[in-house]
Amino acid sequence: PHMSVADNMSFALKLAGVPKPEIRKKVEHAARQLNLTAYLDRTPKELSGGQRQRVAIGRAIVRAPKVFLFDEPLSNLDAALRGNTRVEIHKLHVALGATSIYVTHDQVEAMTLADRVVVLKDGVIEQVGTPMELYDHPKNQFVARFIGMPSMNMVPAGAIPTFSQQTGGRLPTDGFLGVRPEGLHVHPGHGAGVPGRVDLIEALGSDTLIHVDVGGVPLIARQNERTPLRIGDDVGVELDPSVLHLFDREGQSVAATA
């Protein structure tokens, strides 16, 4: 913490006995990539959280590794900094062209940064695939709930009979029907779909999350427009059968449609 940004970034190179001209060249190059040139003479205490994170990345870049390991690098940053730094890390990954292993509990980071995602539970690999493969074809309930925000709606078999009937008999009697929020459509009144009541509305600007109670089963629907609905309104909820996910009692996928 008492060393300057330049000294922090060059520390490993100095220990390795790299010539000073080469160290300076590597540090200056990394600083340009990370927009840290103006901060090379400052100490970490004079930097923001996001800038300190970039210095840590710079220490790795100057060593030109073949593989980068990021262990929850954004966990200590506030929401705004997390978003900005996530974009910077993604751009840097593309620019460097090096393999990066990124550990995170944040599914947004996993979805936006990864070429391939490895989802683990208690040290066991649950599924490996591209972000959209995991989103569209989760192998079990754990993956289905982890990938996507809000997480997938899970309806016990028979809890909403109309929904269960739309599976064409493929849903195990003790299984679960899964549908993502965008696969539900909410209509005012009881004219279409199964009857429900609005519990909560989250207006996010670009889209709206509508929390609905259907016979005691809580569901979340996403709409890409603003809604005239209000808390307490009676509604009808329709299911898009083309995006159903079916799980057995152990939570394993038994059938799903693309």
pLDDT per residue over 113-161, tens digit each? 999 999 999 999 999 999 999 999 999 999 999 999 999 999 999 999 9
Task: Give the residue with greater pLDDT, 190 vs 34.
Answer: 34
With a cut of 60, say whether residue 256 has pLDDT above it: no
218: exposed, middle or buried (C-beta count within 10 Å: 0-12, 13-18, 19+)? middle
In this structure, what is the dihedral angle of CA atoms 69, 86, 123, 144, given to the nearest 10 degrees?
-150
User: Quick check: is 164 in a domain?
Assistant: yes
Per DSSP, what are the bridge partners of residue 202? 209
| pTM of this structure | 0.82
According to DSSP H, which parts of 62-160 are helical? 79-96, 107-113, 131-136, 141-146
CB 109 within 8 A of CB 74: yes
In terms of domains, do 166 and 220 share one? yes
Strand partners, 237: 186, 194
Whether 137 maps to a domain, the answer reads no
Q: Which of 89, 113, 137 marks a domain boundary?
A: 113
Residue 2's contacts (CB-CB under 8 Å, 6 or more residues apart) are 43
User: Would you state the pLDDT for residue 255?
Assistant: 60
Q: How far apart are CA 204 and CA 96, in angstroms?
A: 35
Judge whether residue 257 has pLDDT over 50. no
Q: Is the pLDDT of residue 15 over 90?
A: yes
Instruction: Check: CB of residue 183 under 8 Å from CB of residue 239.
Output: yes
Clarify whether residues 163 and 79 are in a common domain: no
Q: Which of 46-50, 138-142, 213-217 has the lowest mean pLDDT?
A: 46-50
Cβ atoms within 10 A of the Cβ of 38, count?
9
pLDDT for residue 83:
84
Q: Print the domain residue range for 45.
A: 5-113
Task: Tell me if 226 is assigned to some domain.
Answer: yes
Query: Among residues of the chain, what percentage have pLDDT more than 90?
Result: 67
For residues 157 and 109, membership in a common domain is answered with no
72 occurs within a structural domain:
yes
Mean pLDDT over 184-206 rounds to 92
pLDDT in tens, 53-111: 889 889 998 998 889 999 998 887 787 778 888 888 888 888 888 899 999 999 999 99
Q: How many structural domains comprise the chain?
A: 2
Largest CA distance in the chain: 77
Q: What is the mean pLDDT of the chain?
A: 91
- Ramachandran angles phi, psi of 65, nearest 5°: -75, 155
Q: Which residue has the tokens 């059938």?
A: 255
Task: Say whether pLDDT at 258 is over 50.
Answer: no
Contact 177, 237 (CB under 8 A): no
How far from 71 is each of 3, 156, 205, CA to CA, in Å? 23, 36, 32
Beta pairing class for 99-103 and 67-71: parallel
Predicted local distance difference test score (pLDDT) of residue 185? 94
Determine, yes or no, domain membership for 50: yes
Same domain? For 97 and 159 the reply is no
The pair of three-digit structure tokens given for residue 2, joined into one six-digit string:
């008492």
pLDDT for 119: 97
DSSP SS3 for 14? helix
Which of 57-66, 89-98, 175-184, 189-198 has the largest mean confidence? Answer: 175-184
Amino acid at 93: H
**Is the predicted pLDDT of residue 51 greater than 90, yes or no?**
no
